[in-house]
Amino acid sequence: MSNDARLIAGNEEHSFPVLSGSVGPDVIDIRKLYAQTGMFTYDPGFTSTASCESALTYIDGDEGVLLHRGFSIEELSENSSFMEVSYLLLNGELPSKAELDDFSRTITRHTMLHEQLATFYRGFRRDAHPMAIMCGVVGALSAFYHDSTDISDPLHRKISSHRLIAKMPTIAAMAYKYSVGQPFVYPDNSLSYTGNFLRMTFGVPAEPYVVNPVVEQALDRIFILHADHEQNASTSTVRLAGSSGANPFACIAAGIACLWGPAHGGANEAALNMLKEIGTPDKIPHYIERAKDKNDPFRLMGFGHRVYKNYDPRATVMQKTVREVLTALKVNDPIFEVALQLEEMALNDPYFIEKKLFPNVDFYSGIILSAIGFPTTMFTVLFALARTVGWVAQWNEMISDPGQKIGRPRQLYTGPTARDYVPLDKR
C-alpha cells in the first residue's frame, strides 16, 4: 500500500507524500497542496502543523517524554551542567572534558557588555518590568555588535550565538540591579555561568559575594529544564523572525517579547501570584471551581500544556528541586504546601482528568526562585536567559538549512470584498 495521504476535494483525488521522522507522528507533506488544489489548510494555533524539520528536541506529550538530541531531560538535569546542555544543543553531541572547558572559556570571555549599553538602562523607568528592559536591550545588541550580524557567514553565526548565551545573564542581572537602584556588578570570570549570574544579581561592590553551591546547582538545573522545548511559541517566533534574514539579536528580542505572555513564559510569575492569592489550603476548592467555570476567565496557572497530556517531566524534576532548595535554605514556605495540595486536588478532579491537565514546568519553579530571592518580575527573565540557548540553536539549524524559506502563512479571509471608495466629504 502506498504511503501517501489521499485527499478528496470536490471530484478530484489528490495524493500527498507522508514523511517519517526518527520518532514521533508522521507528517503529511502538503507543500504542493495549494498548487494542486487551489486550497490552503486552516490551522489557527498550529495544533496540527509541523512548521519545520528539526533534530534538536523531541517531546512525546502523551507519555511525558522530553529528549534533547536523544538524551532525556531527567538524565541531563541530574548529571549535566547548563554549559554541557548548551554545547549539546548547539553541536549535537555531549562534549568531552576538553571541549566543555573550551566552550565554557569562550562563553565566559563574552560575558561583558559594551560599556555604552549601561547608559541604555538609564532610559528606562526604575519600575519598568525587567522583561521590557530585556526586549529593548537585547534588540539593541545588534547596534553594538556589527561584526557578527552577517547571517550567511557561519563564523558570524557562531560568534553571535556565543555572545547571546554569554551576555544574557549580564543583561538580566543589570535589569534587576537597575530596578532596585543598586550599582551594576561586572562579571567575574572565575565563577561558573550560573554562579556568575547569582553574583551579578545579588552581589554588591561593598562586600564579597559567596555563591551558595546548593542555590547554584538548583538554578543551573532550572536553566537546563528551560533550555529548549521544540517549536513552542517563542521559538517559532525566533524562527519566523529569522526566516526573513533578520540578525540574531533582533530575532532573540522577538522571542523574548513572545515569551513574556502569561500563556507562555509569563506563567511562572502568574503561577506564584496565583498560589499567593490562594494563600491557604482551605481556599483551594474555591479556586478549582473557578478554574472549571467557563464564565470565569480564571485558569490554574502552571497547569495544562499544548503538547503534554501527561505530567510535564520538567515539573517532576522541579518539584524535587523545590524540596532540596527549601531544605538547604531552611525556608518554610507555606505556599509550597498550597501548591502540593492544589496539585493533588486538581489531579483527582474529573475536569482536569478528562482534559488531561497536569502541572507544567512553571507550577513549581516560582517557589524555588522566590526562595532564592528573585522577585516575581524576574521569573520570566530567568526563563528567557535559559531559553536563549534553545533559540539560538533552533535559529542556527534553520539558517543552515539550504531549503530554508521565509515563513509566510496564508489566511482564511472573512473581511469585506472589493467595494467603492467613498470620499471623506460624502461619508
CA distances from 334 to 276, 318, 362 (A): 9, 17, 18
Judged by CB under 6 A, the chain residues 286 through 305 that form the site for ligand ACO are 291, 299-305
> Between 294 and 419, whose beta carbon lies closer to ligand ACO?
294
Instruction: Extract the C-alpha cell encoding 18.
Output: 507522508
Does 228 engage in binding with ligand ACO (CB under 6 A)?
Answer: no
Distance CA 229, CA 305 (A): 12
Give all strands (DSSP E) within 1-110, no chain letters.
Answer: 5-9, 12-16, 18-19, 27-28, 57-60, 65-68, 71-72
> Between 143 and 340, whose beta carbon lies closer to ligand ACO?
340
CB of 361 to ligand ACO, least distance (A): 5
Does 237 engage in binding with ligand ACO (CB under 6 A)?
Answer: no
Measured over all CA atoms, what is the biggest interatomic distance in the chain, rounded to whole angstroms?
A: 79
Applying CB under 6 A, the span of 32-40, 85-93, 357-365, 401-409 interacting with ligand ACO comes to 357-365
Of the candidate residues 9, 118, 263, 353, the single one contacting ligand ACO (CB under 6 A): 263
> Between 291 and 342, whose beta carbon lies closer to ligand ACO?
291
Give all strands (DSSP E) within 291-359, no chain letters.
Answer: none
Active site residue 229: no
Active site residue 305: yes
Binding mask 114-153 for ligand ACO (x = CB under 6 A): ----------------------------------------
Applying CB under 6 A, the span of 205-213, 275-283, 326-334, 352-360 interacting with ligand ACO comes to 352-360
- Which residue type sits at 280? T
CB of 368 to ligand ACO, least distance (A): 15
Does 306 engage in binding with ligand ACO (CB under 6 A)?
Answer: yes
Q: Torsion angle, CA of 195/200/203/204, rounded to 10 degrees?
A: 160
Of the candidate residues 156, 158, 264, 276, the single one contacting ligand ACO (CB under 6 A): 264
Does 315 engage in binding with ligand ACO (CB under 6 A)?
Answer: no
Q: Can you give the C-alpha Rg of the chain in angstroms?
A: 23
CB of 229 to ligand ACO, least distance (A): 7
Would you say the C-alpha torsion 73, 76, 77, 79 has a positive or negative sign? positive
Does 357 engage in binding with ligand ACO (CB under 6 A)?
Answer: yes
- For 89, the enclosing helix (H) or strand (E) is helix 82-91
Does 366 engage in binding with ligand ACO (CB under 6 A)?
Answer: no
User: In 3D, which of 129, 114, 165, 115 has the Cα closest to residue 262?
Assistant: 129
Give the residue numbers annotated as catalytic, written as ranges.
Answer: 305, 362
